[in-house]
């Protein structure tokens, strides 16, 4: 069975690593702050001191970090993955990042006879914990097939969409959809509260009809409980919306609803400094806490 390296032990990475360990894989991990890896180390993962050190002792290296600049650093930086990767090794970036960066990694990997995939996910902390993530993959079919059991240990829906960068492009489509469900959920609750409705019953009723969606089911109850801990960081969602709109601009597409969602999250993250809250904290732009 393949030895797996995993770089990034945050909210998402922790759940994903635990599921790999449950599936019987040996997992070696690295995180910029070692203390944040304590949970997965206690669960059976092995610590390594750098991305290169992870790469040297494993067959498949997975990364799940925050921003494109973090991806650049762990792949191309000193003691990065590509400095230590071996021919026929497989590297997989599961961070939501830029399609062009995924293509850059794949090109650099191919020059060293290394196989690369981009495989961003959807499903939040709950999906990561329960092994029910949706995984969107870009890269070569044989490489995808070789690691499909690894993906299936972390997700319930896995799909290859084409060559390098296509997984990231699919994730952008996903985030465009979520922009609508998060703003819809927020404005629905703002309206329902102003109309003096029972918010718990509104969630149950709306969620049983044609307005049902993942954001409503998973984040609606958290909002009513005053729980703004991140299933997905608001700052990371803003990053995703910016990437999606950059990609749309290159395609000469105008996406006004997504543009408005980006503006709202910029107010939340940049102006109010709430980027470390979950995406459901958007309601704070209307409700006093």
The pLDDT, as a whole number, for residue 1 is 66
- Residue 193: CATH number of its domain: 1.10.1040.10
Q: Where are the alpha helices (DSSP H) in the chain?
A: 11-22, 38-42, 51-56, 68-76, 81-84, 99-110, 124-130, 141-154, 166-194, 199-206, 214-224, 234-250, 256-266
Residues 144 and 212 in one domain: no
Q: CA torsion 41→43→44→48, rounded to 10°?
A: -20
Do 198 and 236 belong to one domain? yes
**Residue pair 284/205 in contact by the 8 Å Cβ criterion:** no
Instruction: Please indicate, yes or no, whether the overall pTM of this predicted structure exceeds 0.85.
Output: yes
> Do 51 and 141 reside in the same domain of the chain?
yes
| List of long-range contacts for 33-37, beta carbons under 8 Å, 24+ apart | 36/9, 36/10, 37/9
Q: What is the pLDDT of residues 82-120, one digit of tens each?
A: 999 999 899 999 999 999 999 999 999 999 999 999 999
Q: Locate 113 and state its tokens.
A: 């006879």
Separation in Å, CA 111 to CA 28, 117, 210, 249, 273: 25, 15, 50, 30, 42
As for how many domains the chain has, the answer is: 2
Which residue is listed with tokens 């830029």? Answer: 98
Which one of the listed residues 104, 171, 235, 284 is annotated catalytic? 171
Active site residue 239: no
Token match 């940049």: residue?
270
CATH number at residue 70: 3.40.50.720
Strand-pair partners of 7: 30, 63
* pLDDT per position as a tens digit, 218-269: 999 999 999 999 989 999 999 999 999 999 999 999 999 999 999 999 999 9
Residues 185 and 253 in one domain: yes
For residues 42 and 147, state if they share a domain: yes
- What is the mean predicted confidence (pLDDT) over 175-204? 98
Kindly state whether residues 67 and 15 are assigned to the same domain.
yes
pLDDT at 2: 85
Residue 254 CA to residue 259 CA, distance in Å, equals 9
Where a domain ends, among 163, 183, 208? 163
Range of the domain at 101: 4-163
């Amino acid at each position: 069975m393949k030895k797996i390296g995993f770089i990034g032990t945050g909210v998402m990475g922790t759940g994903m690593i635990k599921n790999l360990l449950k599936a019987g894989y040996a997992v070696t991990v690295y995180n910029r702050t070692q203390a944040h890896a304590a949970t997965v180390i206690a669960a059976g993962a092995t610590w390594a001191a750098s991305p290169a050190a992870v790469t040297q002792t494993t067959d498949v290296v997975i990364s799940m970090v925050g921003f494109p600049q973090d991806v650049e650093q762990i792949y191309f930086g000193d003691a990065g993955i590509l400095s230590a990767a071996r021919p026929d090794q497989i590297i997989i970036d599961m961070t939501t990042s830029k399609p062009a960066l995924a293509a850059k990694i794949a090109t650099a990997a191919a020059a060293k006879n290394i196989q690369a995939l981009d495989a961003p996910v959807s499903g939040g902390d709950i999906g990561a914990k329960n092994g029910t993530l949706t995984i969107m993959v870009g890269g070569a079919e044989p490489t995808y097939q070789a690691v499909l059991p690894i993906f299936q240990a972390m997700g319930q829906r896995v799909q290859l969409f084409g060559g390098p960068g296509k997984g990231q492009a699919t994730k952008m489509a996903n985030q465009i959809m979520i922009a609508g469900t998060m703003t819809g959920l927020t404005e629905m609750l703002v309206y329902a509260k102003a109309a003096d409705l029972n918010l718990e019953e509104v969630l149950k009723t709306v969620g049983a009809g044609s307005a049902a969606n993942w954001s409503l089911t998973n984040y609606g109850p958290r909002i009513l409980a005053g729980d703004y801990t991140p299933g997905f960081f608001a700052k990371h969602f803003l990053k995703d919306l910016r990437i999606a709109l950059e990609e749309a601009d290159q395609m000469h597409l105008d996406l006004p609803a997504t543009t408005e969602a980006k503006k709202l999250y910029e107010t939340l993250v940049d102006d109010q400094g709430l980027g470390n809250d979950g995406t459901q904290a958007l309601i704070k732009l209307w409700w006093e806490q």
